[in-house]
């Protein structure tokens, strides 16, 4: 019997892209044994009677967006992405607005989106999420015309990413950012003017403003426990501890629980504009953006289809229209 593909609030149909036709996007710099990986994916697909996939690889100059667009043009129903967060982000840019579902096979460092979608780590189990799981329309954020799946920020979070050596990131993963954070805990706050959903701006003194599509981050950090990538909204965190004691309180309550005290203020919006007095570091899903004096973010509600475990098929449905 051919495998069943459940359809929760699935945006795709069996018309157009073939439900069982797949492509696999691999970042070979993150995979130690590509032939073994290919064999494992082939075996898992064959077990559910899905055909041989189209194989695609990223390059230094083509990190995944053009390959994802090629998969869309080829008429596949599912694009598997095997790489870190950077590869996933590039693929999302190529899939946005299409009915091709993204299936993440976590590898590399980070894998923050996979963490928030509750995806398994094993290749076989990851493939089965696509062949036996559900489809959901997932929100994206957008900054300067670029989509993101996890978060964008201005201030300390971007500075942390900017000042952590690449070698340390590759060797230690997300724990490498800890030393950078500690070095900048005593940095002065800066003033921001914030407009939420077009309302009159208000001012705050902060270390960082984070606009997130999800709430959980590596290391057990649960910054925004109510955030959902399926609710048509983005969550904004104004991070403004004023003393080392506030930082300690914030960091100790983040692990597994909601941030309490420590100078964190949160909002839920469809769009937000942050303006500063001076140019500040900015980031998007862990990649640096050019420093700037503003960060304007809007939600793209239901911007991309993702493969999720079957238990998420009963989650709240995604709004049909994108935020303005």
In this predicted structure, what is the pLDDT of residue 182? 58
Per-residue pLDDT of the chain (324 residues; tens, 9 = 90+): 333 333 333 333 333 456 679 999 999 988 889 999 999 999 999 999 999 999 999 999 999 999 999 999 999 999 999 988 889 999 999 999 899 999 999 876 668 899 999 999 889 999 999 999 999 999 999 999 999 999 999 998 888 776 554 554 545 455 545 555 556 566 789 999 999 999 999 999 999 999 999 998 876 778 898 999 999 999 999 988 766 666 555 655 554 444 444 578 999 999 999 999 999 999 999 888 999 999 999 999 999 999 999 988 744 443 333 333
Cβ 217 vs Cβ 227: under 8 Å: no
Domain boundaries, the chain: 18-132, 146-301
- Does CATH place domain 146-301 in 2.60.200.40? yes
Question: Contact at 8 Å (CB) between 76 and 68?
Answer: no
* CA separation for the pair 236, 152 (Å, rounded): 10
Provide the β-strand partners of residue 151. Answer: 212
Q: SS3 for 194?
A: strand
Is the C-alpha dihedral spanning 131, 137, 139, 143 positive or negative? Answer: positive
Please tell me if the domain spanning 18-132 has the same topology as the one spanning 146-301.
no
Give pLDDT, residue 253.
54
Give the residue from 253, 155, 247 showing the smallest Cα distance to 204. Answer: 155
Q: Are 266 and 226 in contact (CB under 8 A)?
A: no
Q: What is the pLDDT of residues 86-118, one digit of tens each?
A: 899 999 999 998 999 999 998 766 688 999 999
Q: Is the pTM of this model over 0.75?
A: yes
The CATH class of the 18-132 domain is alpha beta
CB 142 within 8 A of CB 148: yes
Per-residue pLDDT, 107: 78
Predicted pLDDT of residue 85: 84
Question: What is the model's pLDDT at position 307?
Answer: 97
Would you list the DSSP string of 264-290? EEEEEESEEEEEEEEEEEEEETTEEEE
């Amino acid at each position: 019997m051919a495998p069943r593909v459940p359809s929760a609030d699935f945006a795709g149909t069996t018309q157009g892209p073939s439900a069982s036709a797949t492509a696999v996007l691999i970042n070979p710099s993150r995979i130690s044994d590509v032939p073994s990986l290919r064999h494992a994916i082939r075996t898992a697909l064959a077990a559910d009677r899905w055909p041989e996939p189209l194989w695609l690889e990223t390059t230094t100059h083509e990190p995944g967006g053009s390959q994802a667009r090629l998969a869309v043009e080829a008429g596949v129903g599912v694009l598997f992405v095997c790489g870190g967060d950077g590869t996933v982000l590039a693929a999302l840019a190529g899939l946005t607005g299409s009915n091709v579902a993204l299936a993440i096979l976590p590898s590399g460092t980070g894998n923050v989106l996979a963490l928030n979608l509750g995806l398994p780590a094993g290749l076989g189990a990851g493939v089965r999420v696509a062949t036996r799981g559900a489809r959901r329309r997932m929100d994206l954020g957008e900054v300067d015309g670029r989509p993101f799946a996890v978060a964008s920020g201005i201030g300390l979070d971007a500075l942390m990413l900017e000042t952590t050596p690449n070698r340390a990131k590759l060797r230690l993963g997300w724990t490498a950012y800890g030393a950078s954070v500690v070095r900048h805990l005593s940095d002065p706050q800066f003033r921001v003017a914030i407009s939420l959903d077009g309302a009159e701006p208000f001012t705050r003194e902060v270390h960082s403003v984070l606009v997130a599509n999800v709430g959980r981050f590596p290391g057990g950090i649960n910054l925004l426990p109510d955030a959902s990538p399926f609710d048509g909204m983005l969550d904004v965190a104004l991070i403004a501890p004023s003393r080392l004691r506030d930082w300690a309180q914030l960091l100790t309550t983040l692990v597994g629980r909601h941030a309490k005290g420590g100078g964190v203020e949160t909002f839920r919006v469809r769009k937000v504009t942050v303006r500063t007095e001076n140019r500040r570091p900015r980031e998007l899903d862990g990649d640096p953006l050019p420093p700037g004096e503003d960060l304007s973010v809007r939600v793209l509600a239901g911007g991309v289809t993702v493969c999720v475990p079957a238990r998420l098929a009963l989650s709240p449905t995604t709004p049909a229209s994108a935020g303005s």
